[in-house]
Structure formats: C-alpha cells, structure tokens
Amino acid sequence: LSRFQKHVHTYRILPDEENFLAVQTSQGVQPKRFKTLPELIQLYLQPSQGLVTTLLVTASNGLSTISHEYLKSSYALDLEAVKQGANSLPHLNKTLEASCKRLHGYTLQPSICLGLGDRKYRLVSIKVIEVYGKSQQFTETNVRVCVCVCVSQVKLDVYLADLTKIGKSQKYSLNWNTFTHDKIRQLIKSQRVQNKLGIVFEKEKDKSQRKDFIFASAKKREAFCQLLQLMKNKHSNQDEPDMISIFIGTWNMGSVPAPKSMGSWILSRGLGKTLDEMAVTIPHDIYVLGTQENSVCDKEWVETLRCALKDYTEIDYKPIAVQTLWNIKIVVLVKAEHENRISHVGMSSVKTGIANTLGNKGAVGVSFMFNGTSFGFVNCHLTSGNEKIHRRNQNYLDILRQLSLGDKQLNSFDISLRFTHLFWFGDLNYRLDMDIQEILNYINRKEFEPLLKVDQLNLEREKNKVFLRFAEEEITYPPTYRYERGSRDTYVWQKQKATGMRTNVPSWCDRILWKSYPETHIVCNSYGCTDDIVTSDHSPVFGTFEVGVTSQFVSKKGTSSEQAYIEFENIEAIVKTASRTKFFIEFYSTCLEEFKKSYENDTQSSDNVNFLRVGWTSKQLTTLKPILSDIEYLQDQHLLLTVKSLDGYESYGECVLALKSMIGSTTQQFHTYLSHRGEETGNIRGSMRVRVPSERMGTRERLYEWISVDKDETGGPKGRTLPPRAGHDYVK
C-alpha cells in the first residue's frame, strides 16, 4: 500500500521458472537461489540486504541485534515446528512485529506463511501501512501513496515441489502496475456483493480504467477503503480536512473504579459490528466518552482516559470539554492538530431525578464548532425500571427542551435541529418486553431480531414518542445489561430492593443514536460492546463514525457585484392546531447575516379540525441573500425554517432544508416534516431555487464523495453512502 521513494526498495518473492525463487527490487528482478529455509530467512533479516533492515535502517541501528537473536535462538524453534507439520513461523512474526515498533508513525503488518519440503512454501510481501501521521524518519516529501495492481497467473498456493517441475513451456509471469493515489479517481463499493470493490484509475488524459477486487470479507473491504481515504486525506493539497472520524463511547461503570485496561473499549473490539484489525489501529480525530455511575473524580478520570489513548495510539490527546452532573460525566478529547479548529465550546446539564431536582438521573452535554460544522453530544442516564417507559420518554423530552447548547440565536429550535450532527447516547434504560426465559433462550441462540422487536426504545421510536428521525446502527451484539460482575457468562435478572424483589430482564440499555442535517455525510463504521471489561453489570458500548465537515470558507475569487439569491416560488404547510390565526415563516442560516421573516400567509383551509393548511406565494416570501455567493460554500449550507403564529409569535413547527440540491437554474421541489419540542407537528412543501452566478460555479470533490455505491447488475442508480436507517432525510 505504501512505498517510500528514497529509503525503501520494494522486495517481492516471485516464482522463478528455472529453479526456486527470484527477488524483485525497485531496480528489477534479480535471480536468487535458495536451497534451504535458513537462507530465505537470512535474506529477510540480514543487515546488508534484508527487507526488514532496509525498511528500518534509518529508524534503528539495533535491528541487526534483533535478527541475530532470532537466528541464534528462536529460529531453531520455528524450524522444528515446520518439521512437525506447521505452515507458519510464529517466532519470525513476533520478531518482525517487535521490529515494526521502531518505525514510530508507520505500522508494518507482516503477512507471511512459510513451509518446508513438499509442504506449502508461500511468502506474501510485508505491507507497510502509514497510520499515525508524520514519522521522524520519513518526511512527507519522501512518501508516495500507491496501490499495486497484480495481474498474475501465479497461484499463491504453489508448492515448492511443483515449482521445480515447471518446464520452460509453462512459464509463469507476474506483472505489476503502480497507480499513485492521485491517479485513483473513485472507489466503487458493490452493494450486491459486499466484499467487492471497483477502483477507477486514471490511465491516460481523460481516460480511465476500472478494476474490480474481491476481498476476503466485507470488513476487509471497509478497512481497505478507510486506509485509502486516510492516505488520500493526508497527502491531499487541501489545508483543512473535509472528513474526520469520531469515537463515541458510553458505559455505566456501576460505581466502581475503572479497570486497569480499557483497550477493547477504546479500540472498538468485542461483539457486534467491529472494525477490521487493519483499521482498528487508526487513531480517531475526536473521542467522546460518556459514563454513568462514575465515582472517579474528574481530574483523575480525564488523566486515565488520556493515558489509555496515549498507550494505544501514541498520541497526546487534548481535553477540550469535561462536564459532570453527580456521577454522569462526558469528556471530549481531540488531536492536538485540531485544537485551533474547535471554537464556541458550550456545556450544560439537566436534572431529571426525583421532582427534577436530583442529579442522579439526567444528562450532560457538550457542543462546539469544528471549522464550519456544528456538533452536539448528549450523555444521559434515564429512569430505570422495566415498567417506567413513559417516565423515560418524559426524561428525554425534558433534556431535549432544557439542555442549553449551541447557537443562542436558535432558541426557537430544540437541540435536535441546532447542530449539523447531534450524537445522543448513554444508559437510556429502555428494557425488553418479553418473558425472561424466552429472552435467555434467544440470547443463547444469538437470535437478536425477535428481541429487538420488543425493545421498548424501538417501539417508542416507531410511535414517534422519542428520538424523532434519529438514526441508530443495526444492533448485532447481545444485551449489555444486567451481567454478573466479574464475568460475561451470566445475566443476573433478580435484584433485592427495599421495596421487594425487582426483575431486571437482559436489555440493550446502553445506546448510541444520532441525527444529522439532510445531505450531509455520516457513516457508522462500528457499533458494538466489549466482552472482556467485567467490573460493572453493564458492558461498555462503542460506535465510530466517519463524518463530513466543512471549512471556514474563504472565497478565492474576491468580491464581485454578482450576488447569489435564495428564491421561493411557493410554500405550503400543514400544522397541527385548532387555531385559525394567520402565520408567517422565519428563516435562519449561518449563510445569512441575520434571520429573515416572510409576510403572513395568503391562503388557508382546513379538512380536519385539528389541522390547518396554510400557504404562501412568491409575493409573501422574501428573497434571501447569502453572505458569500460561491457554490462551494453554498452547497454546504442549510436553511432552518420555523412556522409562527401572528397572534402570539409561538412556533408551530420547525424544519431544516439543504441548499445543495436546490442549486440550479430551475426551481426544485422540497418536502419534509415539521416538529416542535421533540414532537412531529405537520409537514411542509414548496418550490425554491438557489441561483449562483456563473463565475462562482467552480467546486471540488470532497474526500467522502470519492467513494460511491454501485448497484451492480440490478441497474439501479449510483450514489454516495448514506447512514443506515436514515429516515430523517426527506429533502429531494
């Protein structure tokens, strides 16, 4: 995947038609004869010409010591294992992995399989994958990201004994074509075949070539795409990122100290949808960790998290926000390189305990801007008890309406509409409505679908009672509560309380949901729980997200007399009200200098006593003038609308529209839902267009647009990946 132009030659072991093997270096193919296994190992570990030594020659002078130690001691163990029938060399792998640590910012992933005699004798070249950023040894000017496309007639599983019998008429060939990252035009994921990926390369000027690859699994394909995205992002010419990765973690710690190791939580390892082992070592840009029943003091907890991240990523993460309500905590840590990109940090908390005055239940929240994108994070602990569904629903609504986060100018809107991306997580405490024995039987058979159908949170969401238009990744891991402490083998479903015996059926109490503006990029890459952290009766839950972000835009074309306009042809809204007053619309956006108002509606009718249909024509609707007129700026902007009554200036519904699909010379239709204070209150439709001057039409491809989804043989349209179950995206 990576090649270092000056320091590293690429060695590949190739079948040689005359005898055993040949070595291909960057200077060409050089014949090399091997009669014994030690000779081949010697090639890889010899200080003068070995591959590992060549990789590490500038990183460490101590490698020759490592190689001699292996040949002196562990090599004999590997050789004996091979004689006994083994087809791998574990001690050699350990030696290589130990050597890899000398590379600092670069991780070597050995993929080696050696045999002896007439057994399998295969060697796959060591892959060098850049994951941690700049290395002390290799500067960016010495790095070129490339993909090697192998067109091969050679089977990797060829035996040595077979190779010696190959005649000249049966010549094997191996051809390598190298395409640098800037020549890769697009990655196309197959939707029908989950482990298939098409790569479109630039062949010649204005010509391209597509090659399809089959990976071992869908997870391997995703890891490969993530690595290529990371490399393309790192070596792009853009000053600011247009995509970042975010880790969200939630854990009810059970009022006990943190365990010595939290690696599986931080590395998203365990059960459910997890990251591939290649992608798991890539550090995220932002870590947001929410805990409940956390008795550790704030300072100690932050330091524990920072040390854990340093151990696993070798990066010093900076805390930008810590908010606590009793034992409910949220901590946000970011890479140091992003500190200056984060602004407008806000923090808030809401109590929902007894009489809404105790903080044993409630929520803590953090909000901030990352360049031009707004983020909100809410960690909550809702009322417990199998039967208290309505109380939990009310907890959610109280938090939604009272948590003071985000732009204060958006007070008309609840926090579910104030942020480009809002993440809501915690111990939500929703339970399963099913007999305990049936639940345990389904869990033992790993059949989760029947349980998810009786999950209280899913049922309440289907009724639009809570988390209106939020998304959640599919759950493929067992219920995270209530385990016997000290193991993950047994659920303890009875608990003695002062009021008597309480039944706590196994449930998915710990959840991560999110809500994003329409036509933004967000993909959940993992959603699962750990299976080795056993100090609490809850298992920690993790989710990782790939999120599109926008920069603080600066026009490269200077000022101009040409102005972009946002024009409405008509709007019609159906609002839930028995009132027959007149209404007007307020428009908010960061692309406007100030909010604007329409005139009162000029049409009004009602087919139902509880609903009112109101309409505006172009004469009643104001033309909006954005601050900047560049299409690259406008396609990232959103417009917030609120429908208000004239008699009390009370809002009857709010919504958000993406300007991106409204840009053009003709009017475009929109249709979406209205909500107010967390409840759906109607819908709104209309015609509008965003008119951009021709001189401002230049734009660039975003990194997340580099990957598309192909419907393959079904003949369906191609499109960018969308978040799973993203029912909130109504805008065409």
For the stretch 456-489, pLDDT in tens is: 999 999 999 999 999 999 999 999 999 999 999 9
Stretch among 186-195, 288-297, 419-428, 461-470 having the lowest mean pLDDT: 186-195
Mean pLDDT of 523-537: 97
Residue 68's pLDDT is what? 62
Residue 99 pLDDT > 80: no
Cα gap 299→560, rounded to integer Å: 52
User: What is the set of domains in the chain, with CATH numbers?
Assistant: 12-45 (no CATH), 66-144 (no CATH), 153-235 (2.30.29.30), 243-486+498-548 (3.60.10.10), 565-702 (2.60.40)
- Tokens for 726? 């993203």
User: Percentage of the chain with pLDDT > 90?
Assistant: 56
Rounded Cα–Cα distance for residues 249 and 546 (Å): 15
Confidence of residue 221 (pLDDT cuts 50, 70, 90): confident
Between 361 and 174, the higher pLDDT residue: 361
Which residue's structure tokens are 């077979």?
162
Decide if pLDDT at 383 tops 80. Answer: yes
Higher pLDDT, 418 or 556: 418
**CB atoms inside a 10 Å sphere around CB 215:** 18
Residue 162 has pLDDT above 60, yes or no: no
Mean pLDDT of the chain: 79
Confidence of residue 694 (pLDDT cuts 50, 70, 90): confident
Mean per-residue pLDDT for 371-386? 97
- Residue 87 is predicted with a pLDDT of 61
CA angle 63, 90, 7 (to 5 degrees): 35
Query: ∠ CA(195), CA(199), CA(204), 5° rounding?
Result: 165
Contacts of 434 (CB under 8 A, 6+ apart): 451, 454, 505
- The average pLDDT across 612-635 equals 95
Provide the CA 665 distance to its chain's centre, in angstroms. 35
At 238 the pLDDT is 77
Q: What does the pLDDT look like over 251-272, one tens digit per residue? A: 999 999 999 999 999 999 999 9
How many angstroms separate the CA atoms of 298 and 132, rounded? 28
User: Which of 102-116, 265-279, 355-369, 463-477 has the weakest average pLDDT?
Assistant: 102-116
- Burial track 228-253 (b if 16+ CB lie within 10 A, e otherwise): bbbbbbbeeeeeebbbbbbbbbbbbb
DSSP state, 112?
Answer: E
Mean pLDDT of the 8-25 span: 38
User: What's the pLDDT score for residue 96?
Assistant: 63
Compute the average pLDDT of residues 242-256: 97
Give buried/exposed letters for 18-27 (b at 16+ CB in 10 A, else e): eebbbbbeee
User: What number is the average pLDDT over the span 170-195?
Assistant: 69
94 pLDDT exceeds 80?
A: no
Over 90: is that where the pLDDT of 40 sits? no
The pLDDT assigned to 168 comes to 34
Helix (H, G, I), strand (E, B) or coil at 420: coil
* pLDDT, tens only, 422-446: 999 999 999 999 999 999 999 999 9
C-alpha 21: how far from chain center: 43
Range from 74-83, 542-551, 714-723 carrying the lowest mean pLDDT = 714-723
pLDDT at 37 over 80: no
pLDDT at site 700: 73
User: What is the distance between the alpha carbons of residues 599 and 616, in angstroms, rounded to a whole number?
Assistant: 8
Which residues lie closer than 8 Å to 503 by C-beta, 6 or more apart?
Answer: 386, 436, 493, 494, 495
Q: What is the pLDDT of residues 295-342, one digit of tens each?
A: 999 999 999 999 999 999 999 999 999 999 999 999 999 999 999 999
Query: For the ranges 16-30, 421-435, 485-499, which has the lowest average pLDDT?
Result: 16-30
Q: pLDDT band for 80, please (50, 70, 90 cuts).
A: confident
Q: How many CB atoms lie within 10 A of CB 340?
A: 8
Q: What is the pLDDT of residue 558?
A: 61
Q: How confident is the model at residue 144 (pLDDT cuts 50, 70, 90)?
A: very low
pLDDT surpasses 50 at 286: yes
Q: Please write the tens of the pLDDT for every residue from 661-685.
A: 999 989 999 999 999 999 999 999 9
Q: 294-308, 345-359, 373-387: lowest mean pLDDT where?
A: 345-359
Token representation of residue 485 = 């402490």
pLDDT value of residue 237: 73
pLDDT for the residue numbered 705: 86
- The predicted pLDDT at position 495 comes to 82
